[in-house]
């Protein structure tokens, strides 16, 4: 019996290895600081798409609020980097003095320490996801209601950060004036060092996510996507599984948030903007949310297109982009990765699976098939 | 930086493809790349404004007027015989794009200067890269100040200049009681801090201060509060689409402009045109420029601009005029730097900025009349004017300062220090560079 | 807490009703589309925007009076809705979450298309002089426009209720909602029902757009400001008509009261948090329809 190569684990791992070797080879061909920085930023977007693929594609949890983890971590990192430019004689970031603060707020104090600051930048969003996730999933919120709850939470945080101007500099955000200093060296955002950091962490998170999806835990998660009620009847603690996958995806987004600030030295409420979180979902949807690598490539493709074609087509770019989404969704329900799956399936002689075998997540209020 | 070294580096990039791990011995980007000018080649500048999205309303006009100014300069011989070549980028109203494209313009296109941004948030997004690469940003609009970067030149009014005459004017003509309404972000809050000082000096009284979320169009609650407070006039720093909704609802809710006019820092010709007939009429605006300013330079500017292919939106307003001026400030700065070195290939962005202090745009070029760049903080000395909106949406100048007002980015934060060309000098004598 | 006067509370409550009617008219088209067809329509804000531009164009080009622009917007946007439904949405009925992606693409295309045609400078819709005035009853102040919007919203709700609960078409819609196959076996053309419902939903967004163009501004990006609010109303209401009415009433009043005692930004923050808390306890909205499990 011939098997669809797409589902062959060895083939999958081979593709991953090839992909990361390609990424690792980039600095051998590119010495331009701008390009390295740009590719590293794409790496961060890829990590976000990966996190969405994990919770939406595999867990069936449509998370429109991934900006929560990304944004909170980005603020943590920006605070850490900002404090590196302050010293005991000048402890106050300039924007605070302009907002009539005369001493550093207590929750800024821990960020004097770079290590502690980064740990907090990762820990705070992760804990937030644990609490918020278990609240949602224990209440058996599902389908589009998760999407809206995460969206409302994101909007609430966005509004809060915007309003807390003395502590966050409101809409202007925080621009740490110097590059990140860590382990005694400076990570120049335009250097190979910064690029390697991003690629290494992307590799780490991708492998972890891949292993997770192939584990027994991952199988239960995928069963949840199909029908949570049946999984519940089988005696699994559905809320626990959902919370874990949601939190893991949040942690990956948080790592992405830290790296992003390292690369661009800037954070503002725009990182928690609803549109940005929807964009992450679009990356995963276009690339193929059921494939981690598909989602990653979706992010690279759309952001790359935005950077390189956006200015060629000035006026028509958004028309083209929108039209492209419409076509992909209309004809390729599982994104570009789904197309590959189909093609490989045909090459294998016969299709072992019905293309719709993996049911889309159920929606309350949706018309019956 | 000399040419030969860069050539070697370019060669090494090619060699890089063959070598095993060239990144280990290639110098880091900052040493290898930098903006340069070449004899006989066009001077590249970047225009980083949003042509789509929420910010497109003011920024598309900035791009258009900038193209017009560049065309005008090129037609009159360019800069020392060199044409200016604008590279136009759409920042899509997205701060991530601002940051990415600023890097591209500075590091790849190697533009000698950037003209860009309308909101402070986008400026803060691109300043880290501008400062790190020692590039130069012309920021052509009003802003709050409280910033001392060594890589920017601003041609709009600072918060300390903007409302200085407006508040006493309103107190004198309408009464002491005032109500502040602003969009909820940094610039309105800073502007209001300055306005409070002027209000206090004029013997006025502040009845309330309200901030509306950016982009909101629901002014019901605020107007209810204003109705109860019964001020003599309203001081507004509401921006963008919200500003238009504010004026419309002000009228719809039965407020009368004669009894309680709105004195605004933002409601210019684009806004009054978009409100519809009569809605804006009678309200006040403080700005260095109105389309109707009566002087020969402005008459020529308005006429030529509107009939050029860039005048499609049908008006010139303060923000466009400030952008127009920035093109000339750049031209004069580059010429001055050139005079100093004698060789255009040696001129760097930083050098242009260093010689830009004191540059004057005379009233035969500047539609708003003579302005000059401050030698310490590189903001602009100008004369704010007060205009009253007419039924057709244009402004009638009702007051003009007799003397130029000095820009002072730290006027309300004397403890922070004084901004100089080399950095912020704290009261204890320490100098800090790039305070943003 | 500051001293609060009786008059301001009354004014805030009345204003709350007005805000509620604005939220509701923005959300009602979405409610119908989501509740009946199950489509998560991210292009709803752009339908609102199209309604505003339709009125602007009819008024400035053909000189149509404002009051006629309202039904005209309904018809034009409903027609655009039919085109989008036939060309795209109908292929996605069994993939509801994918409609989110596809309609997001539609929203990009509509927004940029309008920008290319009309430019990015703001437009306005002229209204009769009466809408530029207000009425006073003692200490209560109301603008005529707000009363008008409230009236239009009430009429639209009444019309929708009539259509869905008192007509043959409404019965068909409800039959299809409950069980598509069963309805089909009774000879109901579900495809047609979906198409008509989608068109009506789009048309109602068009009416909202026409009104918002007067209240605020006409811009290619104007829709984005309303779409998140509309979604919150729909979801809190559970996707039913009565749910949306109650949800918008609640959120409108809360927004007005919070804005009176604190400020507008904080009011929004509180509102979002309350919605999250609310969904925690009623995960399927205020008036969720009990669904039979199959």
Strand B152-154 to B137-139 pairing: parallel
- C91 vs A: CB within 8 A: yes
First to last CA, chain C: 53
Which positions ≥6 away from A271 have C-beta within 8 Å? Answer: A67, A70, A71, A74, A257, A260
Separation between Cα atoms, residue C36 and residue A120, nearest integer Å: 45
Longest dimension (CA), chain B: 78
Touching subunits of B (3+ CB pairs, under 8 Å) are A, C
List the strands of the sheet with B418-420, edge to edge.
B418-420, B423-425, B431-432
Strand B233-237 to B205-212 pairing: unpaired
Separation between Cα atoms, residue B125 and residue B95, nearest integer Å: 6
Q: Pick from A330, A336, A354, A360 the residue to mutate for testing the C interface (most C CBs within 10 Å).
A: A330
Closest CA to C179 of A276, B222, A368, A119: A368
Measured torsion, CA atoms of residues B142, B144, B148, B149, in degrees rounded to the nearest 10: -50
Closest-CA residue of chain B to C257 = B221
Q: Hey, which residues 135-174 in chain C have their CB within 8 Å of chain A?
A: none
- A315 vs C: CB within 8 A: yes
* Chain A residues closer than 8 Å to B103 by CB: 34, 37-38
Q: How many other C-beta atoms are found inside a 10 Å radius of the C-beta of residue C187? A: 7
3-state SS assignment for residue B377: coil
Closest-CA residue of chain C to B51 = C120
Q: What is residue C267's predicted lDDT score, i.e. its pLDDT?
A: 84
Closest CA to B119 of B62, B46, B160: B62
A32 to B29: CB separation less than 8 angstroms, yes or no: yes
Q: Which of B32, B131, B184 faces A177 most closely, judged by CB atoms?
A: B131
- A144 vs C: CB within 8 A: yes
pLDDT along chain B (436 residues), means of 10: 40 37 35 63 93 85 95 94 92 89 91 93 91 93 90 93 92 95 89 93 94 87 92 93 91 92 92 84 94 94 95 90 96 94 89 93 94 94 94 92 92 87 87 84
DSSP states of C260-283 as a string? HHS-HHHHHHHHHHHHHHHHHHST
CA distances from B92 to B54, B398, C101 (A): 8, 37, 20
Touching subunits of A (3+ CB pairs, under 8 Å) are B, C
Separation between Cα atoms, residue C111 and residue A319, nearest integer Å: 9
pTM for the full predicted model? 0.87
CB pairs under 8 A between A and B: 145
Closest-CA residue of chain C to A161 = C269
A28 to B119: CB separation less than 8 angstroms, yes or no: no
CA atoms within 13 A on the CB side of A198: 34
Q: What is residue B307's predicted lDDT score, i.e. its pLDDT?
A: 93
Q: Hey, which residues 159-198 in chain A have their CB within 8 Å of chain C?
A: 159-160, 162-163
Instruction: Tell me if A148 sits within 8 A of C232, measured CB to CB.
Output: yes
B186 to A172: CB separation less than 8 angstroms, yes or no: yes
Q: Pick from B63, B192, B209, B220 the residue to mutate for testing the C interface (most C CBs within 10 Å).
A: B220
Closest CA to C30 of C16, C18, C41, C17: C41
- B203 vs C: CB within 8 A: no
- C219 vs B: CB within 8 A: yes
First to last CA, chain A: 32
CB pairs under 8 A between B and C: 118
3-state SS assignment for residue B128: helix
CB pairs under 8 A between A and C: 153
> Mean pLDDT across the stretch C82-104?
87
List the strands of the sheet with B284-287, edge to edge.
B205-212, B177-183, B233-237, B262-264, B284-287, B385-389, B395-400
Q: What letter does residue B225 receive in the DSSP assignment? A: H
Separation between Cα atoms, residue B364 and residue B376, nearest integer Å: 25
Report the number of secondary-structure helices (H) and strands (E) in chain B: 14, 18
Q: How many other C-beta atoms are found inside a 10 Å radius of the C-beta of residue C87? A: 12
Q: What is residue A369's predicted lDDT score, i.e. its pLDDT?
A: 35
Q: Which of B23, B90, B94 faces A314 most closely, judged by CB atoms?
A: B90
B220 to C19: CB separation less than 8 angstroms, yes or no: yes
* Chain C residues closer than 8 Å to A326 by CB: 88, 102, 105-106, 109
Q: Hey, which residues 52-81 in chain A have their CB within 8 Å of chain C?
A: 62
C216 to B241: CB separation less than 8 angstroms, yes or no: yes
Closest CA to A221 of A353, A364, A24, A54: A54
- C279 vs A: CB within 8 A: yes
Q: Pick from C40, C99, C105 the residue to mutate for testing the A interface (most A CBs within 10 Å).
A: C105
C112 to B52: CB separation less than 8 angstroms, yes or no: yes
Tens-level pLDDT at each residue, chain A (369 residues): 467 788 888 888 888 999 999 988 888 888 788 899 999 999 999 999 999 999 998 998 989 999 999 999 999 999 999 999 888 888 888 888 877 788 899 999 999 999 999 999 999 999 999 999 999 999 888 777 788 889 889 999 999 998 888 899 888 899 998 889 888 888 899 999 999 999 999 999 999 999 999 899 999 998 888 888 888 898 899 999 999 999 999 999 999 999 999 999 999 998 999 889 988 998 998 888 888 999 999 999 999 988 888 777 777 888 888 898 899 888 888 888 888 888 888 887 654 444 444 444 444 444 433
Q: What is residue C289's predicted lDDT score, i.e. its pLDDT?
A: 57
DSSP states of A219-250 as a string? HHHHHHHH-HHHHHHTT--HHHHHHHHHHHHH
3-state SS assignment for residue C14: helix
Q: Where are the alpha helices (DSSP H) in C33-167?
A: 44-62, 66-87, 96-118, 144-166
B253 to C12: CB separation less than 8 angstroms, yes or no: no
Q: Pick from B128, B191, B194, B213 the residue to mutate for testing the A interface (most A CBs within 10 Å).
A: B128
* Chain A residues closer than 8 Å to B436 by CB: 94, 175, 177
Q: How many other C-beta atoms are found inside a 10 Å radius of the C-beta of residue A315? A: 12
Separation between Cα atoms, residue C158 and residue C167, nearest integer Å: 13
Q: Which of B12, B33, B436 faces A33 most closely, judged by CB atoms?
A: B33
Beta bridge partners of C136: C141
Q: Which of C180, C231, C265 faces A148 most closely, judged by CB atoms?
A: C231
Describe the crossing of helices C44-62 and C190-215 by its angle, rounded to 10 degrees.
Answer: 60
C235 to A360: CB separation less than 8 angstroms, yes or no: no
Q: What is residue B285's predicted lDDT score, i.e. its pLDDT?
A: 95
Length of chain C: 294
Measured torsion, CA atoms of residues A105, A110, A111, A114, in degrees rounded to the nearest 10: 170
User: What is the helix (H) or strand (E) element at residue B425, kind and residue range?
Assistant: strand B423-425
Q: What is residue C23's predicted lDDT score, i.e. its pLDDT?
A: 93
**Model ipTM?**
0.89
Instruction: Tell me if B110 sits within 8 A of B44, measured CB to CB.
Output: yes
Could you tell me where the beta strands, DSSP code E, fall in B184-287? 205-212, 233-237, 262-264, 284-287
Structure tokens at B139: 């920021």
CA atoms within 13 A on the CB side of B37: 31
Cα of B114 to nearest chain A Cα, Å: 16
Cα of C111 to nearest chain B Cα, Å: 9
Instruction: Tell me if C45 sits within 8 A of C223, measured CB to CB.
Output: yes
- A229 vs C: CB within 8 A: yes
Touching subunits of C (3+ CB pairs, under 8 Å) are A, B
- B209 vs C: CB within 8 A: no
Reported confidence tier of residue C4, pLDDT bands at 50, 70, 90: low
Separation between Cα atoms, residue C252 and residue C248, nearest integer Å: 6
- B270 vs C: CB within 8 A: yes
What are the contacts of A163-167 at 24+ separation with CB within 8 A?
Answer: A163/B184, A163/C265, A163/C266, A163/C269, A165/A99, A165/B185, A165/B186, A165/B189, A166/A96, A166/A99, A166/A100, A166/A101, A166/A105, A167/A96, A167/A101, A167/A105, A167/A107, A167/A108
């Amino acid at each position: 019996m011939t098997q669809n190569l797409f589902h062959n684990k060895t083939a999958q791992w081979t593709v991953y290895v090839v992909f990361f070797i390609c990424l690792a080879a980039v600095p051998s061909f590119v010495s331009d600081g701008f390009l390295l920085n740009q590719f590293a930023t794409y790496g961060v977007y890829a990590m976000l798409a990966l996190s969405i693929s994990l919770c939406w594609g595999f867990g069936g949890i449509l998370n429109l609020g991934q900006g929560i983890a990304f944004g909170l971590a980005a603020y943590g990192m920006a605070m850490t980097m900002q404090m590196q430019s302050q010293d005991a004689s000048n402890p106050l970031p300039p924007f605070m003095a302009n907002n009539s603060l005369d001493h550093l707020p207590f929750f800024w104090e821990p960020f004097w320490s770079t290590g502690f600051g980064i740990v907090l930048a990762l820990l705070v969003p992760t804990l937030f996801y644990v609490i918020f996730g278990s609240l949602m999933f224990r209440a058996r919120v599902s389908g589009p209601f998760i999407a809206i709850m995460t969206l409302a939470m994101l909007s609430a945080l966005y509004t809060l950060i915007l309003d807390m101007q003395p502590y966050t500099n409101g809409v202007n955000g925080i621009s740490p004036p110097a590059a990140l200093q860590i382990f005694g060296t400076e990570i120049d955002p335009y250097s190979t060092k910064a690029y390697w950091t991003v690629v290494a962490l992307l590799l780490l998170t991708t492998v972890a996510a891949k292993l997770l999806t192939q584990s027994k835990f991952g199988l239960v998660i995928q069963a949840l996507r199909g029908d949570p009620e049946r999984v519940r009847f089988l005696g699994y603690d559905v809320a626990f599984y959902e919370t874990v996958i949601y939190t893991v995806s949040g942690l990956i987004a948080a790592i992405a948030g830290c790296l992003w600030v390292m690369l661009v030295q800037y954070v503002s409420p725009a990182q928690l903007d609803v549109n940005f979180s929807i964009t992450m979902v679009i990356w995963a949807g276009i690339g193929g949310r059921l494939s981690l690598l598909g989602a990653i490539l979706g992010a690279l493709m759309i952001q790359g297109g935005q950077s390189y074609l956006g200015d060629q087509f000035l006026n028509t770019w958004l028309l083209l982009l929108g039209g492209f989404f419409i076509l992909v969704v209309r004809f390729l329900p599982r994104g570009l990765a789904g197309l590959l799956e189909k093609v490989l399936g045909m090459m294998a002689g016969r299709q072992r699976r019905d293309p719709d075998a993996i049911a889309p997540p159920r929606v309350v209020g949706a018309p019956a098939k | 930086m000399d040419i030969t070294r860069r050539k070697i580096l370019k060669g090494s990039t090619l060699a890089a493809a063959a070598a095993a791990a060239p990144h280990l011995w290639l110098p880091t980007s900052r040493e290898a790349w930098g903006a340069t000018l070449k004899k006989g080649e066009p001077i590249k500048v970047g225009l980083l404004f949003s042509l789509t999205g929420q910010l497109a309303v003011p920024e598309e006009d900035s791009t258009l007027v900038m193209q017009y100014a560049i065309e005008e300069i090129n037609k009159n011989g360019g800069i020392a015989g060199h044409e200016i070549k604008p590279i136009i980028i759409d920042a899509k109203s997205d701060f991530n794009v601002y940051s990415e494209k600023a890097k591209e313009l500075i590091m790849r296109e190697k533009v000698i200067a950037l003209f860009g941004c309308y909101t402070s948030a986008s400026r803060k997004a691109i300043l880290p890269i501008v400062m790190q690469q020692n590039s130069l940003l012309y920021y052509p609009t009003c802003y709050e100040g409280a910033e001392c970067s060594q890589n920017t030149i601003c041609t709009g009014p600072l918060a300390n200049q903007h409302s200085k005459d407006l508040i006493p004017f309103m107190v004198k003509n309408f009464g002491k009681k005032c109500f502040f309404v602003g969009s909820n972000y940094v610039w309105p809050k800073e502007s209001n801090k300055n306005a409070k000082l002027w209000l206090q000096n004029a013997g006025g009284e502040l009845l309330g201060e309200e901030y509306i979320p950016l982009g909101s169009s629901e002014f019901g609650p605020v107007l209810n509060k204003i109705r109860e407070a019964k001020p003599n006039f309203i001081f507004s720093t509401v921006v963008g689409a919200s500003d238009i909704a504010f004026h419309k609802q002000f009228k719809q809710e039965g407020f009368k402009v004669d009894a309680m006019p709105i004195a605004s820092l933002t409601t210019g010709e684009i806004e009054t045109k978009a409100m519809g007939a009569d809605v804006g009429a009678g309200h006040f605006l403080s700005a260095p420029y109105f389309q109707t300013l009566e002087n020969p330079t402005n008459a020529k500017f308005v006429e030529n601009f509107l009939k050029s292919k860039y005048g499609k939106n049908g008006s010139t307003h303060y923000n466009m005029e400030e952008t127009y001026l920035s093109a000339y400030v750049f031209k004069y700065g580059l010429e001055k730097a050139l005079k100093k070195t004698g060789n255009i290939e040696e001129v760097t962005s930083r050098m242009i900025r260093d010689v830009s202090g004191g540059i004057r745009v005379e009233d035969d070029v500047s539609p708003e009349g003579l302005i000059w760049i401050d030698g310490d903080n590189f903001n602009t000395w100008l004369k704010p004017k007060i205009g009253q909106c007419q039924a057709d949406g244009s402004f009638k100048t009702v007051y003009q300062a007799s003397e130029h007002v000095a820009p002072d980015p730290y006027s309300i934060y004397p403890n922070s220090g004084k901004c100089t060309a080399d950095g912020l000098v704290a009261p204890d004598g320490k100098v800090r560079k790039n305070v943003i | 807490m500051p001293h609060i006067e009786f008059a301001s509370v009354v004014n805030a409550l009345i204003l709350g009703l007005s805000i509620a009617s604005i939220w509701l008219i923005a959300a009602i088209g979405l409610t119908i589309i989501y509740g009946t067809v199950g489509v998560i329509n991210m292009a709803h804000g752009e339908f609102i925007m199209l309604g505003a531009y339709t009125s602007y164009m009819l008024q400035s080009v053909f000189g149509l009076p404002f009051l006629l622009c309202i039904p005209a917007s309904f018809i034009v946007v409903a027609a655009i809705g039919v085109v989008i439904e036939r060309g795209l949405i109908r292929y996605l009925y069994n993939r509801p979450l994918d409609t989110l992606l596809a309609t997001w693409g539609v929203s990009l295309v509509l927004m940029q298309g309008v920008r290319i045609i009309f430019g990015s400078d703001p437009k306005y819709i002229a209204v009769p002089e009466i809408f530029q005035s207000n009425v006073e009853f003692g200490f209560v102040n109301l603008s005529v426009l707000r009363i008008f919007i409230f009236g239009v919203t009430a009429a639209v709700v009444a019309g929708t209720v009539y259509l869905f609960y008192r007509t043959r078409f409404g019965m068909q819609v409800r039959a299809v909602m409950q069980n598509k196959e069963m309805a089909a076996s009774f000879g109901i053309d579900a495809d047609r029902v979906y198409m008509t419902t989608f068109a009506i939903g789009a048309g109602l967004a068009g009416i909202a757009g026409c009104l918002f163009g007067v209240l605020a501004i006409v811009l290619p990006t104007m829709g984005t400001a309303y779409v998140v609010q509309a979604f919150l109303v729909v979801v809190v209401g559970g996707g039913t008509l009565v749910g949306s009415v109650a949800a918008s009433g609640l959120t409108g009043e809360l927004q007005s009261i919070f804005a009176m005692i604190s400020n507008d930004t904080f009011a929004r923050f509180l509102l979002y948090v309350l919605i999250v808390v609310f969904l925690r306890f009623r995960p399927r909205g205020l008036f969720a329809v009990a669904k039979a499990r199959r």
